[in-house]
Amino acid sequence: MKAAKVILALVLAASLMFAFTSCTCKPGDIEEEKITQPEAMSTPSAISSQSEIVKPAAVTAGVIMVGNRIVDIGDKVYPIYFDFDKSELRSDSRNTLSELAQWMKNNPSVDLRIDGHCDERGSNEYNLALGETRADSARKYLVYLGVSPDRLETMSYGEEKPSCSSSTEDCWSKNRRDDFTITSK
C-alpha cells in the first residue's frame, strides 16, 4: 500500500456574485429580394428590433477544494485512483476508504462530498457518467463500512477538472480519481 502525504486544504469557497449585466444588441438588417428582371428595383423597408440580454443573479457559497488537495482529517486521506475506463475500487483505494470511514465515525458531525474525475481520453459526455460511477463506487464502499448514506453526496466532473494537465500516462493516472471534500461541520 502506498502511503502518501496528505496536505490539508479546506478552502472556503468564495461566494460568487453574479451581477446583473445587460447589453443591447444591435440587429443587423439584411433584406433580401428576388431579382427577376434586369435591374428591377423595389423599395423594401427595414425592420429593426432590439433585444436585451440580462443575466439572472445567483449566489453560490460552500466549501471547496483546490486541485487534488484533500480534506484535513488528521493524516490520512488522499484522492483514490482508478484504472482507465474503470470504476472498480483498487485494493489501495479500499484501504484508504477504510481509514476515511473510521475517521468519519470519529467525527460524526462531518458530511462529505465525493467528486469523481476522469482523464482526458474518451468521450467527454461518457466520462461525465463514468465520473458519477467512480464517485458512487467510493460512496457505496463507505456505506458498506458503516457510514450513513445521509452524510455522503456525489458529483461528477468528468474530464473537466484535471489535477494534472499534460498528456502522459503519469498525468492521466493522477486524473482518474475521486476527490473528497468536507461539506459541513
Partner 1 sequence: MKNKIQSFPNLILTTCVLILFIVCISSGFPAHVEARVYLELDSPNLRRIPLAVAPLQPLCGCQTDEKIALTGRKILIDDLEFSTFFELLDDPSSYLEKPKSCGLSQGSFDFRNWSLIGAELLIKAGYSQNGEKLVVEFRLYDTLAGKMIVGKRYRGRAQNIRLLFHKFSNQVVESITGLPGEFTSKIAFCGRQNNEPAQELYTCDYDGHNRRQITRNKSINISPAWSSDANKLVFTSYRRDNPDLYLIDFMKGKETRLTERKGINAAAAWSADNRHLTLMQRYENHSEITIIKTSSGDTILRVTKSSANQASPCWSPDNREIAFVSDRSGTPQIYITTAQGGRWRRLTKKEAYNADPDWSAHNDKVVFTSKIDGIFQICTIKPDGTNHRQLTYARRDCETPSWSPNGRHIIFTEKINGIEQLMVMDDKGRNLKQLTFDKLKKKGPNWSANR
Alpha-helix residue ranges (DSSP H) falling in 90-145: 91-106, 124-144
Question: Is residue 86 a contact residue for partner 1 (CB under 8 A)?
Answer: no
Number of Cβ atoms within 10 Å of the Cβ of 125: 10
Place of cell 462530498: 113
Any contact of residue 1 with partner 1 (CB under 8 A)?
Answer: no
Look-up of cell digits 439572472: 56
9: number of Cβ within 10 Å: 15
Residue 152: strand, helix, or coil: strand
Looking at the Cβ atoms of 10 and 102, the one nearer to partner 1 is 10
CA distances from 124 to 41, 84, 135, 153 (A): 53, 14, 16, 22
Give the shortest CB-47-to-partner 1 separation in angstroms: 5
| Beta strand 152-158 pairing with 111-117 | parallel
Among 158, 172, 179, 180, binds partner 1 (CB under 8 A): 158
CA 59, chain centre distance (Å):
18
Q: How many CB atoms lie within 10 A of CB 141?
A: 19
Q: Under the criterion CB under 8 A, does residue 58 sit at the interface with partner 1?
A: yes
Quick one: 44 or 74, whose CB is closer to partner 1? 44
Residue 109 interacts with partner 1 (CB under 8 A)? no
Candidate residues 54, 75, 146, 184; the one interacting with partner 1 per rule CB under 8 A: 54
Does 12 participate in binding partner 1 (rule CB under 8 A)? no
Nearer to partner 1, 5 or 26 (CB): 26
Q: Is 34 in the site for partner 1 (CB under 8 A)?
A: yes
Which span (1-9, 25-33, 70-78, 90-98) binds partner 1, by CB under 8 A? 25-33
| Contact present, 116 and 157 (Cβ < 8 Å) | yes
Interaction between residue 33 and partner 1 (CB under 8 A): yes
Q: Which residues bind partner 1 (CB under 8 A)?
A: 16-19, 21-40, 42, 44-49, 51-56, 58, 60, 62, 85, 121-126, 128-130, 132-133, 136, 139, 153-158, 160-162, 165, 167
